[in-house]
Amino acid sequence: MVEKNLDFRSDTVTLPTPEMREASYRARLGDDVYRDDPTVNELEALGAEMLGKEAGLFVTSGTQGNAVSILAHTQRGDEIILEERSHIYVNEVGGLAVMGSLMARTIKGEKGWMRPDDIRAAIRADNIHYPRTSLVCVENTHNSAGGIALTPSQMKSNWDVAKEHGLGLHLDGARIFNASVALGLDVKKLAQYSDTIQICLSKGLSAPVGSLVVGSQELVDRARKYRKMLGGGMRQAGIIAAPGIISLTQMVDRLAEDHRNAKTLAKGLKRLGIKVLNDVQTNMAYVDFSPIGWTAEDWNTACAKIGWKSRGRGTTTRLVTHYGIEEEDIESFLDEMAKLVG
């Protein structure tokens, strides 16, 4: 029986499964800073193997994972290339500037994808007046573009430009498994076009906390030292790593349910006169309720009235499906919303 979690705000609100709670209770433990926690070691090895990389690193969050990855690739004063609405650039508190003393060169993407020629044009020439371009950051799925899954050919096009110019490529793969499930591909086919990847365990994969960084042994070793610098050197961390093993072994395939539910939700809201703003490929629907004359307050009040959490702003909101929301819940939500809209 799935514990209900009627909350559209994000897939970060997911609750751990019963198996995850049991795994935490029974986890074998050690001091992870000394590399002595067998559960953390197992999780890191599993993540690396699934993504086709040499090594893994368990971190406290996706933001920390992106931060230590970027630091591992760069030197102070470098410039990195990112899509202009990427999570790293918009939603990570300016960490690349504060912690890395890095400049950001942003590119306007097409549904989250940066055109190779635009990346090429953004790379700095070797000139005493310019910062050194050292890294390209890609996001898949791309959150602000609507949970869009970038294809292997799109990933390869960015990778090829980066490698032509001797640059690293970091993938913010917070929802990379959503992308692989949506595209019907082994995740390795996407992961191969990156040097490092950050993978969130605490979003659609439902672990209570944590992310993984995977990549070459050299880059992961560097990231591990930065993790320690940022206060992420955890001790008996197997208690929180154990659910991550369940995430990777039991929760990936079920992401398809979230994708179906998001599409059902989007179609139902369209029938009510609400505008869907994105191509719903994965577990996100961005909607605009101004066509029915509603404000964010109207939307939020209506959702609360029928027992759901949502966060409208202006006349729009992002609705995210996840573990704890089932098909019957989506149908019930649409039925109740129809009464309020009508």
The confidence score (pLDDT) of residue 249 equals 98
Alpha-carbon distances of 237 from 40, 105, 152, 254, rounded to whole Å: 7, 36, 34, 26
**CA nearest neighbour of 194 among 135, 106, 122, 146:** 135
Q: How sure is the predictor about 2, in pLDDT bands with cuts at 50, 70 and 90?
A: confident
Q: What does the CA dihedral 288, 10, 44, 86 come to, rounded to 10 degrees?
A: 30
Q: For residue 29, what are the contacts with CB-CB under 8 A and spacing of at least 6?
A: 37, 38, 39, 236, 238, 239
Give per-residue pLDDT as tens, 208-249: 999 999 999 999 999 999 999 999 999 999 999 999 999 999
β-strand partners of 142: 148
Mean pLDDT over the full length of the chain: 97
What are the structural domains of the chain?
A: 18-250 (3.40.640.10), 254-341 (3.90.1150.10)
- The predicted model scores a pTM of 0.97
Give per-residue pLDDT as tens, 295-314: 999 999 999 999 999 999 99
Q: For residue 97, what are the contacts with CB-CB under 8 A and spacing of at least 6?
A: 103, 104
Is the predicted pLDDT of residue 342 greater than 80, yes or no?
no
Give the C-alpha separation, 183 to 338, whole Å: 32
CB 254 within 8 A of CB 273: no
Give per-residue pLDDT as tens, 158-190: 999 999 999 999 999 999 999 999 999 999 999
The confidence score (pLDDT) of residue 136 equals 98
243: number of Cβ within 10 Å: 28
The confidence score (pLDDT) of residue 1 equals 73
- Residue with the larger pLDDT of the pair 147 and 1: 147
| Three-class SS state of 15 | coil
Structure tokens at 160: 């090829």
